[in-house]
Amino acid sequence: MESSSGSWVPPEGSWASSAARRRNMQAIRSRDTKPERKIRSLLHAQGMRYRVAAKPLPGLRRTADIVFRPAKLAVFIDGCYWHGCPEHYVQPKTNAGYWSDKVARNMARDRDTDAQLRAAGWTVLRFWEHESAEACAVKIAATASRLRAAQK
């Protein structure tokens, strides 16, 4: 939206404080982030096969970052800012109310997703983006192997 002076003015109640901030926030990836790609690469090198950004449950409008369907394992690599990491989340200085509410809603949705998947018999693993990709890949591979073995 432009003001009468020609400069961009955020609409009332907008999440963006400026046009530059809006472009910056829209450029943030929701999938295929560096931590996700690194973990997937390590899993693939171990011979693990999986689905990427897939819905674990058909009726659930949420996707997991990595899904092992036969093993019923859903893996999420959560961003520290967007999911409220207790170690790294820093409340924004601009539009703090909006963003704090947004992160709180994300956290509540994460808990609800975990509960729905577990109720459907799925195992859920969540990792923070700052965790070691190697350690995450080891835990994911071990869990997937254990679940596959238990199916046989």
26-45 burial, b for 16+ CB within 10 Å, e for fewer?
eeeeeeeeebbebbbebbee
Count of structural domains, the chain: 2
pLDDT band at 31 (very low <50, low <70, confident <90, very high): confident
pTM value is 0.81
Reported confidence tier of residue 13, pLDDT bands at 50, 70, 90: low
State pLDDT tens for residues 42-97: 999 999 999 999 999 999 999 999 999 999 999 999 999 889 999 998 888 888 88
Does 114 lie in the same domain as 40?
Answer: yes
- Domain match, 20 and 65 both: no
Q: Tell me the residue range of the domain where 124 lies.
A: 31-151
Q: At 65, which helix (H) or strand (E)? A: strand 64-68
The reported pLDDT for the residue numbered 2 is: 44
Same domain, 16 and 38: no
Q: Supply the mean pLDDT for the chain.
A: 87
Q: Tell me, yes or no, whether 6 and 36 share the same domain.
A: no
Q: Does residue 12 sit in the same domain as residue 42?
A: no
